[in-house]
Homo-oligomer: A and B are copies of this chain.
Amino acid sequence: QLRKAADSVSSWFVVSLVGVGIGLNAAIMSIVSEWLSDLKMGYCSDAWWLSQQFCCWEMEGEEVDGCDSWNTWSSVTLVRWIVFILYATACSFVASHLVRSLAKYAAGSGISEIKCILAGFVMQGFLGFSTFFIKTMTLPLVIASGLSVGKEGPFVHVACSIGTVVAGFFETYRRSQSKMREIITAASAAGVAVAFGSPIGGVLFSIEEMSHTFSIKTMWRSFFCALVATFTLSAMNPFRTGKLVMFQVTYDRDWHFFEIFFFIILGVFGGLYGAFMVKFNLQVAAFRRKHLANHGVAEAVTLAILTATVGYFNRFLRIDMTSSMAILFKECEGGGNIHNLCQTERQWQIVNSLLLATIIRSGFAVITYGCKVPGGIFIPSMAVGATFGRMLGIMVKAMYTAYPTSGIFKVCAPDIPCITPGTYAFLGAAAALSGVMRITVTVVVVMFELTGALTYILPTMIVLLVTKAVGDFLGTNGIADEMIRFNGFPFLEKEDHPYNVTVASVMKKELHTLTETGMSVKDIETILSNTDVKGFPIVSADGALTLVGYIERSELRYVIERARKTRGRINALPCLFTAHGDDDLDLPRDPGEGEEDNPEQYFAPTTAGELQFTPWVNKTPMTATPELPLEIVMQMFKRMGPRVILVEEHGVLCGLVTIKDVLRYIATEKPGHRPSWDERGGL
């Protein structure tokens, strides 16, 4: 009882600790990123460690392009350009080199891999300390290098690493995979929470995208962790503005019904962008795997140079993507006229600029995402959507300015601005994000938590509805899922599709079984060295193949090694896998949990001198009959979470199926089987 109470307190404590860690880390990373990014353009003459914002703190307001204390590197454009490129080169080189030499897992966004880990896949070291440390160190460099990748995806990876490292200090979590997964889920929620300043958005992200099974308890833990992390970030107040992220914004005005037409255009754009991004990024990934596998550093540096060279000449590409979004989201009134975004006389020039930025950024995002530096796809997608949205917004506003009293614009009140281009940028960002990730509810909540504008919930929902419809029509999957498939991780999609076959046609039929009695230790060692399967069904000794249990390879090895230590020569010892009516040994085993009473006594010789494996045998493995449809077996894997399902017919073992078998079947037997639009798009 006391131990239970202690466990309960310790779990609260661990989650709080993880949350605080994530919040602190996010605050520090945000400040460092901003400073490093600003260094690309100039430096603060008062104090070199200040970013442009803090350097020009007193000067807040109208003009972002500098103050007296902020000096650009040179007054000559050419020199500035060269410094810009050199700086990007240096940053990307350092970052990619660090990743390559110290922590390969720190590359990329990490979301796909974490999804697999949460589904039960083991990837040693993916969430370790070195990954955390290197990713934290290199991410600001990557952002500063101007590569078209964002820090939000990696934030989630870093958060999950913090969760694993912190929880790893506690015995309970180190021993239990399932408890560790719960902490990772909570950490992923906190990661999104601090990345977007959106605690509830984080919780929903962990439900909609990350988590494999849903439980209220996990949701509540995510909630708590996200709260603690956001609170810590809010207390740190990294931007000294009271805002949690740079692109948080407030809208005062309402929208008009006729604008829905334009919102639909934004939604369509989001769907198309998502399809484009997923399709071509996969091709780039295939090319990268084939030709660039050993040139990660060179690739990253080349991309950085290219991005810097081209990007310098566009006002929206030159600056950091988060700052760029902060500017694009703003209303024109009250200090929103940065980069002449709101000047009517220059509107077509701006539209031009924004269109170029949209196209170039999309191109760079496609070729950059997945290269060997930390970097996610969230922010580049949102930036692309924001430039497109703002462009559309300015065009609509231009139409309104040209024909203020005609047609659809009649409903506008004459004295207040009718069209707010910032909201178009905002909705465009939501559409592009949803198009790439194929998540909806999370995006609505995140966008809502960025604005707090009650009135913009409905437009956001409408835009995402259109985006989803377009994405379904084009058959786009989320980029994280596509990456999982591309990398061949063993992961079943959440949605079910009909396959019309039974498990009998999928299962492995040649099995390596052990018999409950009559095998010597030497026999078992021979089998262990001749096979590489993860576990062995145990059948009755009478030759009838009656299933009596299942034992994992690792546990066989463990028992044999321990026995060898305590008892010396054991090669000839007979092995015993069942209890033979000895009821004391009937320990019920919970498949998910690695629960283990201290079974030292089993290493001592039994009266018969056998080696006892009984306590390690799972006497109730998950079973299925051969006629069971494949879909139901897949549901069992997804919902019950076993590693293996044994197939038995009337008590007789006839096969074994793992997730890998199912995936292999899906990939080979039905190469062309992709769910049709109706199957997926149907509500």
A residues neighboring B (CB under 8 Å)? 1, 4-5, 7-8, 11-12, 15, 199-200, 203-204, 207-208, 213-217, 219-221, 223-224, 227, 230-231, 234, 242, 248, 254, 440-441, 444-445, 448-449, 451-454, 457-458, 461-462, 465, 468, 494-495, 500, 502, 546-547, 586, 588-591, 619-620, 623-625, 627-629, 631-632, 635-636, 639-640, 648-652, 676-679, 681-683
Instruction: Please name all residues of chain B whose beta carbon is closer than 8 Å to the beta carbon of A449 when the two chains form the complex.
Output: 448, 454, 457
B494 adjacent to A203 (CB under 8 Å): no
By a CB distance below 8 angstroms, the chain B residues around A628 are: 588, 620
Q: How far is the CA of A239 from the CA of B440 in the complex (A)?
A: 30
- In Å, the complex CA distance between A299 and B64 comes to 69
Contact with A200, one of B231, B444, B547 (Cβ below 8 angstroms): B444
Query: What are 12 A-B pairs at a CB distance below 8 A?
Result: A8-B678, A8-B683, A199-B458, A227-B461, A231-B458, A242-B254, A448-B449, A588-B629, A590-B631, A623-B623, A623-B625, A632-B640
Instruction: Determine the distance from Cα of A663 to Cα of B7 in the docked complex, in whole angstroms.
Output: 28
Number of copies: 2
**10 extra interchain contacts, Cβ-Cβ under 8 A, other than A11-B682, A449-B454?**
A5-B678, A12-B682, A199-B458, A215-B494, A227-B465, A452-B453, A547-B650, A620-B628, A640-B640, A651-B652
A473 nearest CB across to chain B (Å): 11
CA distance A51 to B199 in the complex (A): 40
Looking across the interface, which residue of chain B has its beta carbon closest to that of A11?
A: B683
Q: What are the 8 closest A-B residue pairs judged by CB atoms, nearest first?
A: A651-B651, A650-B651, A8-B682, A214-B214, A639-B639, A452-B454, A4-B678, A588-B629
- With A and B bound together, what is the CA distance between A281 and B262 in angstroms? 52
Complex: how many Å from CA A422 to CA B286? 58
Determine whether the beta carbon of A590 is less than 8 Å from that of B494: no
CB distance from A199 to the nearest CB of B (A): 6
Query: What's the least CB distance linking A441 to chain B, in Å?
Result: 6
Q: Are B629 and A441 in contact (CB-based, < 8 A)?
A: no
**A647 to nearest B CB, angstroms?**
11
State the CA gap A677–B1 with chains docked (Å): 10
Question: A257's closest neighbor in chain B, by CB?
Answer: B235
> Given the complex, which residues of B lie within 8 Å of A11, measured CB to CB?
682-683
Pairwise interchain contact A676-B4, C-beta atoms closer than 8 A: yes
Q: Nearest chain B CB to A459's CB is how many angstroms away?
A: 10
Chain B residues with CB under 8 Å of A242's CB are 254
Q: How far is the CA of A15 from the CA of B640 in the complex (A)?
A: 30
The smallest C-beta distance from A498 to any residue of chain B, in angstroms, reads: 8
Which chain B positions have C-beta within 8 A of A586? Answer: 627
Known: A651-B652, A676-B4, A682-B8. A219 touches B223 (CB 8 A): no
Instruction: Report the Cα distance A444→B219, complex, angstroms.
Output: 13
Residues of B within 8 A of A627 (CB): 586, 588, 619-620
**Residues of chain B within 8 A of A227, CB atoms compared:** 458, 461-462, 465
Once A234-B458, A495-B216 are accepted as A-B contacts, the answer to whether A445 and B200 lie under 8 Å apart by CB is: yes
B residues less than 8 Å from A547 (CB atoms): 650
Q: Once the chains are docked, how many angstroms separate the CA of A620 from the CA of B623?
A: 11
Which B residues touch A589, using CB under 8 A? 629
A214 to chain B, nearest CB (A): 4
**Separation of A502 and B589 alpha carbons in the complex (Å):** 10
Of the candidates A199, A230, A454, the one having the most CB atoms from chain B within 10 angstroms of its own CB is A454
Q: Which of B444, B495, B619, B623 contacts A217 (CB 8 A)?
A: B495
B457 close to A200 (CB less than 8 A)? yes
Q: Check A632 against B620 for contact (C-beta < 8 Å).
A: yes
Would you call B650 and A495 a contact (CB within 8 A)? no
Q: Please name all residues of chain B whose beta carbon is closer than 8 Å to the beta carbon of A231 when the two chains form the complex.
A: 458, 462
Interchain CA distance A589-B502 in the complex, whole Å: 10
Give A147 Cβ to nearest chain B Cβ, in Å.
31
Enumerate chain B residues within 8 angstroms of A588, measured Cβ to Cβ.
500, 502, 627-629
Q: Please, which residue of chain B has its CB at the minimum distance from the CB of A469? A: B12
* Contact residues in B for A221 (Cβ distance below 8 Å): 683
Task: Check B465–A224 contact: CB distance below 8 A.
Answer: yes
Shortest CB-to-CB span from A496 to chain B, Å, is 8
Are A441 and B223 touching (Cβ within 8 A)?
Answer: yes
Provide the bound-state CA to CA distance between A220 and B464, in Å.
11
- Please, which residues of chain B bring their CB within 8 A of the CB of A458? 199, 227, 230-231, 234
* Cα–Cα, bound, A495→B217 (Å): 8
Q: Is the CB of A679 within 8 A of B4?
A: yes
Would you give the shortest CB distance from A185 to chain B, in whole angstroms? 12
In the bound complex, what is the Cα–Cα distance between A461 and B11 (angstroms)?
A: 19
Give A445 to B219 CA distance when docked, in angstroms. 14
Chain B residues whose CB sits within 8 angstroms of the CB of A451 once the complex forms: 454
- A682 and B7 contact, CB distance less than 8 A: yes
| Chain B positions within 8 Å of A230 at CB level | 457-458
A221 to B465 CA separation, bound complex (whole angstroms): 11
Interchain CA distance A86-B602 in the complex, whole Å: 80
Q: Considering the chains assembled together, what is the distance between the CA atoms of A628 and B8 in angstroms?
A: 27
Knowing A440-B220, A495-B217, the reply to whether A629 touches B254 (Cβ < 8 A) is no
Q: Is the CB of B441 within 8 A of A683?
A: no
User: Which residues on the B side are within 8 Å of A590 (C-beta)?
Assistant: 629, 631-632
Closest Cβ neighbor of A547 among chain B residues: B650
Chain B hits for A631, CB < 8 A: 590
A450 CB to nearest chain B CB (Å): 8
Please report the C-alpha to C-alpha distance between residue A51 and residue B490 in the assembled complex, in whole angstroms: 62
Partner of A219, one of B208, B234, B648: B208
Please name the residue on chain B nearest to A4 by beta carbon: B678
The 8 Å CB contact of A620, one of B216, B452, B629, is B629
| Residues of B with C-beta under 8 A to A679 | 4
Min C-beta distance of A22 to chain B, whole Å: 15
Minimum distance in angstroms from A245 CB to a CB of chain B: 11
In the bound complex, what is the Cα–Cα distance between A12 and B230 (angstroms)? 38
Contacts of A454 in B (CB 8 A): 248, 449, 451-452
CB of A223 within 8 A of CB of B440, answer yes
* Assembly CA distance A599 to B348 (angstroms): 67
A227 to chain B, nearest CB (A): 5
A5 surroundings in chain B (CB, below 8 A): 677-678
A589 and B627 alpha carbons, distance in the complex (Å):
9
